[in-house]
Chain A
Amino acid sequence: MPELRLRINGEDHKADVAPQVSLLDVLREHLWLTGTKKGCDQGACGACTVLVDGRRIVSCLALAVQYEGREITTIEGVDHPLQEAFVRHDGLQCGYCTPGQICSAIGMLSEHAAGAPSAATEALAPEALTPAEIRERMSGNICRCGAYNGIAEAIQEVAS
């Protein structure tokens, strides 16, 4: 099997994996970086969201071999005010969706800052992140515990 070199949270990692293995499985099962969660393994829940070069991706739909040489950030490498804000606003219950929510929110904030529009964007000029924008842009991350209002408040607080 080819040896795969991945750069994760500022450190180099090696793994022997077959080409069809997802980035999520490499993280969890080969490197024991279990902070990233598997909720569906088919891109439908967002629990496995990580950042690649600052952009959010669902790692269950990413082939690990395509991410050599990229800067991967998982929840273990995140140090962001959103984390405290999630606790303060009760943006979690069981916490299973939380690593994905936080990585997704970080990626979302930089997308917004870079001027990327969403389906809820009113004008193409950069504007403040409205509650509607936050909901639209976070709609790929399911929280079955229903902590959505806390999640939205935590993100709103950090965004403003």
Chain B
Amino acid sequence: MTTVEAGVAGGVGTSPKRPDGGLKVRGEFAFSSDLWADDMLWGATLRSPHPHARIRGIDITAAVALPGVYAVLTHEDVPGAKRYGLEIVDQPVLAMGEVKYQGEPVAVVAADHPETARRAAARIVVDYEVLPAVTEASLGVLLRHVPIRTGDPDATADVVVTGEYQVGMQDQAFLGPESGLAVPAEDGGVDLYIATQWLHVDQKQVADCLGLPAEKVRLTLAGVGGAFGAREDLSMQVHASLLALHTGRPVKMVYGREESFFGHVHRHPATMWYEHGATRDGKLVYVKAKIVLDGGAYASSSTAVAANAATLGIGPYEVPNVVMDASVYYTNNPPCGAMRGFGAVQACFAYESQMDKLASALGLDPVEVRLRNAMTTGSRMPTGQIVEGPAPVADLLIRVRSAPPAPEGSGDLREMPGGVSNTTHGEGVVRGIGYGIGIKNVAFSEGFDDYATARVRLELIGGEPAVLVHTAAAEVGQGLVTVQAQIARTELGVERVTVATADTSVGSAGSSSASRQTYMTGGAVRAACQAVRAALLARVGGARLDGGKVLSDSGAVIADLASVIGDGPIEETVEWRHRPTYPLDPVTGQGNAHVQYAFAAHRATVDVDVELGLVRVVEIVTAQDVGKAVNPLAVEGQIHGGTAQGLGLALMEEIQMVDGIVRNPSFTDYLIPTILDMPPMKVDVLEMADPHSPYGLRGVGEPPTISSTPAVVAAVRAATGKALTRVPVRPEHIVG
């Protein structure tokens, strides 16, 4: 391959302005909820009020009779496959004879006004026979069990610590609710404008359910108001398409906030039992762990979440003997699936809590005990996989430990936990510091054929060279559009780059999840640019590109870039894959399941009012290895955002379930960190190149979510002396 073009502004390693930034600050960016079409109808969904019930009958008469109603559809109106699913096709498009969780869609309505549609839905009479609900994972039907066995299962150790830990059900709570517009097409198909994470997996599922060939279901990405995993599964895609095909008119669906809580999967609640055995000098001898995840009513991505929990479940440590069992079960709780961190979050809270417990059993500093066990390049995972790339676990820990301490509190009431609402004068305020470090796999694992496609076109526009990049990769806020343009600039030396709207007219890019898009779609864009460059050079027998000129081997100028493209545009489409991964052995859990590992460490400093149970996070210090910061500003944004969501899980965020019923589906009752809850952060970004990834980069989005939770909880423990084995930590856990 020829050399990389240097010197062009806005390339890899810089932070150019995001191309959608101007639109977003002017209110001109069209989110999926902002779409409009002539003659458009509005869809609404009737959902089950019961976590488990048999449906004896559905009477739609009164709904159909309402003026302004154009369609009322049930499962009988689904022309193709009646079920869909990411890994297991088990979720009904509309309930068939039974509902298995509160909020399960039963019928959909199209009407000329959203209010009419909602009123019509309320008039549908469903005859339910309520059935007992299974709401404890351990009592549910097994969905997947992932065992891992390495070393001696009966190993013993001098010092043993055990613990049981729990993680509550977290919600992604993206700010822009599920929404989209389905437009019936003349060929009998449908054009769907949708906020999603993966256009092609939606396309396949929607086409199957509509009984249409994939090419008749065309998807275009509409503006995405955040994702965090919650847009990996279908929500209203099939419903809106069904209504559009049925009525022959465009149909828009927009969920409200309450409905959004029922409209997508959540983070799996987990109960985890751990036993760590170590030598007296703090070297881990064995870890035994059992992780039980609540998968809810349908599979979603539960099988992969369980694999992550198992394979990453002892953390970034060298442990010779491991007995790990991670299992996920069906229940009548809401379906759980992808959320930022994907199985690694739950396990990290448990194993990091254990490392702190071990440190105190040994009388060691918590960072010290981690350093003594830190994995490094060449370490062996419990799956037998050797960690090939940089694994700067010790370095990250040392960096966060050696950052200057957080400033002392001034005693000012406004700095108290709870702020000016604090009713004490600080008598009960105690400071604590805690650490956490985590490990995450990047991209898809276990032998999945993971690829991304990019089409790159180099042409003259107004006599100037310009590049058009077209992929199906979902920009969900993370800044992928910026990164794609940066890569094209660097590879082709052309500053003027446009990233086309993502749609299904180009091949799949895979999902905007698993911290994979800069790696995967970035890799595809780079490969497509390289193919374009090779074709360009071949036209005139050039050896390389430099400063807009084609040069020969000896460096002589052969031609101007513009004149070569003047002979016609050059377009290349490339499908790009990461190195293959392999399935886990079903009995021993051995196998090279992951392609890349990423690491982040956090230090949290908190003030806790131990009398009131209030916590204020004073400061967070973090260090993360990103391999190569393709866009340093966006990297920092991901680290801030991920850390905020980890802090939320530590201290406030939980969907509260009682007997299968969601008690708090609103932003007044499901609390999210505000700007006051997020402290100033010190972010230390390491760039230790991975030998196998594009530019050496490492996925960025998830690691900060993983280790921030245990760091915050450890700090609260340090301040309170309480065991705090469940997140989110509530005031009653502190004062109780």
Q: Do A and B interact with each other, yes or no?
A: yes
A76 to chain B minimum Cβ distance, whole angstroms, is 5
Given known contacts A83-B25, A93-B226, A149 and B674 CB-to-CB distance under 8 angstroms:
no
Question: CB < 8 Å: which of A44, A82, A131 contacts B666?
Answer: A44
Instruction: Spell out B's residues near A (CB within 8 Å).
Output: 15, 17-18, 20-31, 33-34, 36, 114, 173-177, 223-228, 256-257, 414, 419-420, 476-479, 633-634, 636-637, 640-645, 666-668, 672-676, 678, 680-681
Question: CB < 8 Å: which of B25, B36, B256 contacts A32?
Answer: B36
Give chain A's interface secondary structure class.
loop
Q: Indicate if the CB atoms of B226 and A149 lie closer than 8 Å.
A: no
Q: Indicate if the CB atoms of A87 and B641 lie closer than 8 Å.
A: no
Q: Indicate if the CB atoms of B24 and A141 lie closer than 8 Å.
A: no
Given known contacts A29-B114, A35-B26, A44-B666, A97 and B642 CB-to-CB distance under 8 angstroms:
no
Question: CB < 8 Å: which of B20, B256, B633, B667 contacts A90?
Answer: B633
Given known contacts A38-B33, A42-B257, A76-B26, A146 and B667 CB-to-CB distance under 8 angstroms:
no
Instruction: List the 6 closest A-B pairs by CB distance, nearest first.
Output: A35-B27, A94-B477, A95-B24, A75-B27, A146-B641, A146-B644
Given known contacts A74-B27, A90-B636, A92-B21, A144 and B175 CB-to-CB distance under 8 angstroms:
yes
Residue of B nearest to A141 (CB): B675
Starting from the known contacts A44-B666, A82-B25, A152-B675, 4 additional A-B residue pairs (CB-CB under 8 Å) come to A36-B27, A95-B24, A139-B674, A142-B672
Q: How far is the CA of A148 from the CA of B478 in the complex (A)?
A: 15
Question: CB < 8 Å: which of B29, B114, B645, B680 contacts A146?
Answer: B645
| Cβ–Cβ < 8 Å partners of B637 in chain A | 90, 93, 145-147, 150
Q: How far is the CA of A45 from the CA of B33 in the complex (A)?
A: 17
A102 at interface by CB-CB < 8 Å: yes
| Cβ–Cβ < 8 Å partners of A127 in chain B | none
B672 to chain A minimum Cβ distance, whole angstroms, is 6
Contacts A/B (CB < 8 Å), 19 sampled: A37-B225, A38-B33, A42-B668, A83-B26, A87-B22, A90-B636, A92-B25, A93-B478, A94-B224, A94-B225, A95-B24, A95-B477, A97-B175, A135-B675, A135-B676, A139-B674, A142-B175, A145-B477, A148-B678
Given known contacts A40-B257, A139-B674, A93 and B27 CB-to-CB distance under 8 angstroms:
no
| Cβ–Cβ < 8 Å partners of B681 in chain A | 149
| Cβ–Cβ < 8 Å partners of A148 in chain B | 640, 644, 675, 678
| Cβ–Cβ < 8 Å partners of A95 in chain B | 20-21, 23-25, 29, 223, 225, 477
Given known contacts A39-B257, A44-B667, A142-B672, A75 and B640 CB-to-CB distance under 8 angstroms:
no
Question: CB < 8 Å: which of B24, B419, B476 contacts A92?
Answer: B24
Q: Indicate if the CB atoms of A90 and B676 lie closer than 8 Å.
A: no
Q: Indicate if the CB atoms of A138 and B675 lie closer than 8 Å.
A: yes
B656 to chain A minimum Cβ distance, whole angstroms, is 17
B160 to chain A minimum Cβ distance, whole angstroms, is 38
Question: What range describes how many residues of A lie at the interface?
Answer: 35 or more
Residue of B nearest to A39 (CB): B175
B646 to chain A minimum Cβ distance, whole angstroms, is 10
| Cβ–Cβ < 8 Å partners of A42 in chain B | 257, 666-668
| Cβ–Cβ < 8 Å partners of A13 in chain B | none
Q: Indicate if the CB atoms of B641 and A145 lie closer than 8 Å.
A: yes
A107 at interface by CB-CB < 8 Å: no
Q: How far is the CA of A93 from the CA of B24 in the complex (A)?
A: 9
| Cβ–Cβ < 8 Å partners of B227 in chain A | 94
A57 to chain B minimum Cβ distance, whole angstroms, is 16
| Cβ–Cβ < 8 Å partners of B642 in chain A | 146
| Cβ–Cβ < 8 Å partners of A83 in chain B | 22, 25-26
| Cβ–Cβ < 8 Å partners of B22 in chain A | 83, 87
A26 at interface by CB-CB < 8 Å: no
Residue of B nearest to A84 (CB): B25
B473 to chain A minimum Cβ distance, whole angstroms, is 15
Residue of B nearest to A133 (CB): B414
| A129-143 CB contacts (< 8 Å) to partner B | 131-132, 135-136, 138-143
Q: How far is the CA of A145 from the CA of B675 in the complex (A)?
A: 11
B517 to chain A minimum Cβ distance, whole angstroms, is 14
| A81-131 CB contacts (< 8 Å) to partner B | 82-84, 86-88, 90, 92-99, 102, 119-120, 131
B41 to chain A minimum Cβ distance, whole angstroms, is 13
Q: Indicate if the CB atoms of B25 and A144 lie closer than 8 Å.
A: no
Q: Indicate if the CB atoms of A120 and B478 lie closer than 8 Å.
A: no
Q: Indicate if the CB atoms of B257 and A41 lie closer than 8 Å.
A: yes
| Cβ–Cβ < 8 Å partners of B20 in chain A | 95
A23 at interface by CB-CB < 8 Å: no
| Cβ–Cβ < 8 Å partners of B675 in chain A | 135, 138-139, 141, 143, 148, 151-152
